[in-house]
Amino acid sequence: MSNGTAIIDTSTIVKGVDPKAPVPITVARGDGIGPEIMDATLRILDAAGAPLRYDTIDIGKEVYLQGHTSGIAPESWETIRRNKVFLKAPITTPLGGGYKSLNVTIRKTLNLFANVRPSKSYAPFVASTHPGINLVVVRENEEDLYAGIEHQQTDEVSQVLKLVTRPGSERIIRYAFEYARAYGRRKVTCMTKDNIMKLTDGLFHRVFEEVAEEYPDIESEHQIIDIGAARLAAQPETFDVIVTLNLYGDILSDIASQVSGSVGLAGSANIGDEVAMFEAVHGSAPDIAGKDVANPSGLLLAATQLLVHIGEAEIAERIKNAWLTTLESGIHTADIYREGLSRREVGTQEFTEAVIERLGQRPRQLAPVQYRPGGIEVSPKPRPRRVKELVGVDAFLDWAAADRDPNVLGRGLRAGTPGGWELKMITNRGVKVYPDGLPETFCTDHWRCRFVRTDGGPTDLPAVLELLGALGGAGFDVIKTEHLYTFDGERGYSLGQGE
Ligand code: NAD
């Protein structure tokens, strides 16, 4: 592992011992239309002079049916890990239970922390309701509510842990800025809900502001996710690169795909510290498999992402501009063919030939692309650890007395609190209900009781255990605790609503 530093070790892959040696990449031809569009893509890569060597592995339906429930044979992992760069065609997930999503397995197993999904319209050559859209959603892929840490704590209440980390945030945000530079983009928009979640989303926003300062050449802005999502749906052309947390990114990337109307032309990348996987957004389209009608563009554009990723920006540019020129020429596969807009309907192979013929040409009406050489690398900045001090504890109780009167609970807790500790407040679903709560506030069986030290004695684990022991002894059902810390004197916990 590279300790979260380089996205890909280009020193071994690209520069290598012999700079002219081809870069080995793993290729999976998938099933359905997978083999046809992979053949088309590799032909174009070869014709453009991409310095790549292909190690092919089997994934998908046949592998599932051989009894590998993840859709990939154990020996294929070694090839993927060794080559570090993986171009994957779509696969068919067999119907029936027990089969796991290969994408989720690959993403989780290989720590692919960034999901990068460009959305673009190619009007007037491909019909679109938003002709000006040209944006990329860079979604954090591992943290946030998707860490999958859930607990039912009382009869009435379940919780999920939303984890946002400084290294995880820094890595994805740096990636977004590096991506913007590599792809000649001008603006990065961060979206969070930090007006509500000040510590988790607030951390992501703060790290964004810090990292943005290091990229004065790239414009940066922050939008609250709700209005940001609304603007994305209504005015997608105002966005360039969007970087955001896992759940928001999941939703935003689907909104962006939908409004661009070009899902069939979209590629996507999943990027990790070591390994990166590139694929089309669409599936294996079994309805048109083997008919030479599939559009290879989604996979081809994913392959251009792959080339920029490994530092072959010039070849990526050559391919993308030839592809744009082909679209402009009106040479279209059936999925995007429109009477009046298109000139000639072609199959997969003829479309591939048309792109190859146009290598070296630049589009006239659609904006040609220009990528910066150098590839994408992310190096987090070292920072000193801050001084952490324990200043109190939130004890969560399961308490379901008949009338659920917070004043009864408060008085009972005060009577059971050992010397040196004081009950500061009780909240229910985050709202302060004691002391001085309002009778209208609805109360569940899940109570957060905040205790602080009052006697100047140590606030440490033995003191906390003494408190919990006393509460247990007084008959209270403590279901969990959260320690209240300060970091360099700064409060590391939220106040109760009304505290
Ligand atoms: P799909 O994307 O395969 O097809 C949806 C529609 O779009 C179909 O009418 C299809 O003919 C058309 N289409 C898709 N790609 C096209 C292309 N390149 N050119 C022309 N037309 C194209 O979605 P689906 O039908 O819901 O799924 C089919 C299979 O693919 C399922 O088994 C699903 O699990 C799998 N799938 C795989 C991936 C992946 O491997 N990344 C992603 C999505 C779906």
Any idea what the CATH number is for the domain that residue 292 is in?
3.40.718.10
Tokens linked to 276: 């990166």
- 279 and 342 together in one domain: yes
What would the pLDDT profile of 324-340 be if each residue is shown by its tens digit?
Answer: 999 999 999 999 998 98
- Residue nearest ligand 1's atom 23 by CA: 283
- Give CA–CA dist 270/80, Å, rounded: 13
Give 264's pLDDT tier (boundaries 50, 70, 90).
confident
SS3 category, 450? strand
Would you say the CB of residue 446 lies under 6 angstroms from ligand 1? no
Ligand 1 atom nearest residue 37's Cα? 18
| Residue that wins the pLDDT comparison between 105 and 315 | 315
Domain end call among 260, 295, 325: 260
Residue range of the domain that includes 15: 7-111+266-371
pLDDT of 10 higher than 50: no
- 98 and 184 together in one domain: no
Give 14's pLDDT tier (boundaries 50, 70, 90).
very low
- 244 and 138 together in one domain: yes
- 275 and 206 together in one domain: no
- Give CA–CA dist 323/80, Å, rounded: 28
Dihedral pair phi/psi, residue 452, rounded to 5°: -125, 160
pLDDT of 161 higher than 50: yes
The mean pLDDT value for 461-471 works out to 95
Would you say the CB of residue 92 lies under 6 angstroms from ligand 1? yes
Closest by CA position to 325, among listed 296, 366, 297:
366
224 part of a folded domain: yes
Tokens linked to 395: 């004890």
- Residue nearest ligand 1's atom 11 by CA: 285
pLDDT at 20: 64
C-alpha to C-alpha distances, 94 to 99, 281, 455, nearest whole angstrom: 7, 18, 65
- Give CA–CA dist 368/453, Å, rounded: 65
Closest by CA position to 182, among listed 276, 302, 311:
311
496 part of a folded domain: no
pLDDT at 11: 35
- Give CA–CA dist 378/6, Å, rounded: 5
pLDDT at 222: 98
pLDDT at 263: 80
Alpha helix stretches (DSSP H) within 14-73: 34-47, 61-65
Quick one: which H or E segment has residue 175? Answer: helix 166-182
- Residue nearest ligand 1's atom 6 by CA: 285
Would you say the CB of residue 91 lies under 6 angstroms from ligand 1? yes
Whole-structure pTM value: 0.88
Specify the residue for token string 């479309």.
351
Distance 322 CA to ligand 1 centre (A): 25
Quickly list DSSP for 472-498: HHTT--EEEEEEEEEETTEE-SPPPBT
Specify the residue for token string 């020193």.
11
- Residue nearest ligand 1's atom 39 by CA: 90
Instruction: Provide the terminal-to-terminal Cα distance of the chain, rounded to the nearest Å.
Output: 45
Quickly list DSSP for 251-283: HHHHHHHHHHT-GGG-EEEEE-SS-EEEEESS-
Of 64-78, 276-290, 407-421, least confident by mean pLDDT is: 64-78
The mean pLDDT value for 177-188 works out to 95
DSSP secondary-structure letter at 185? -
Average pLDDT score over the chain: 91
Would you say the CB of residue 347 lies under 6 angstroms from ligand 1? no
pLDDT of 19 higher than 60: no
Cβ contact 211:379 at 8 Å: no
- 62 and 176 together in one domain: no
pLDDT at 377: 84
Which of 92, 282, 301, 352 maximizes ligand 1 atoms within 8 Å of its Cβ, making it the mutation to test the pocket?
A: 282
Specify the residue for token string 């000639």.
344
Domain end call among 213, 237, 260: 260
- Give CA–CA dist 88/278, Å, rounded: 6
- 253 and 272 together in one domain: no
206 part of a folded domain: yes
- CATH number at 440 reads 3.30.70.1570
Find residue 485's DSSP bridge partners: 390
Distance 428 CA to ligand 1 centre (A): 46
Quick one: which H or E segment has residue 317? Answer: helix 313-328
- Give CA–CA dist 247/164, Å, rounded: 12
Dihedral pair phi/psi, residue 20, rounded to 5°: -90, -10
- Give CA–CA dist 239/85, Å, rounded: 29
DSSP secondary-structure letter at 382? P
- Give CA–CA dist 180/376, Å, rounded: 10
Kind of pairing between the strands at 478-487 and 446-453: unpaired
380 part of a folded domain: no
- 274 and 233 together in one domain: no
Give 126's pLDDT tier (boundaries 50, 70, 90).
confident
Cβ contact 103:59 at 8 Å: no
Quick one: which H or E segment has residue 389? Answer: strand 388-398
- 304 and 411 together in one domain: no
- 255 and 274 together in one domain: no
Distance 75 CA to ligand 1 centre (A): 27
pLDDT at 127: 81
pLDDT of 485 higher than 60: yes
The mean pLDDT value for 9-19 works out to 41
- Give CA–CA dist 188/139, Å, rounded: 13
- 289 and 350 together in one domain: yes
Dihedral pair phi/psi, residue 81, rounded to 5°: -70, -35
- 357 and 424 together in one domain: no
Tokens linked to 122: 């190619």
Distance 101 CA to ligand 1 centre (A): 14
- 360 and 393 together in one domain: no
174 part of a folded domain: yes
Number of domains, the chain = 3
Ligand 1 atom nearest residue 297's Cα? 18
Dihedral pair phi/psi, residue 134, rounded to 5°: -160, 80
pLDDT of 7 higher than 50: no
SS3 category, 4? coil
Domain end call among 201, 235, 260: 260
- Residue nearest ligand 1's atom 38 by CA: 283
Closest by CA position to 341, among listed 330, 353, 326, 325:
330
Distance 34 CA to ligand 1 centre (A): 10
Closest by CA position to 5, among listed 443, 487, 378, 486:
378
- Give CA–CA dist 469/467, Å, rounded: 5
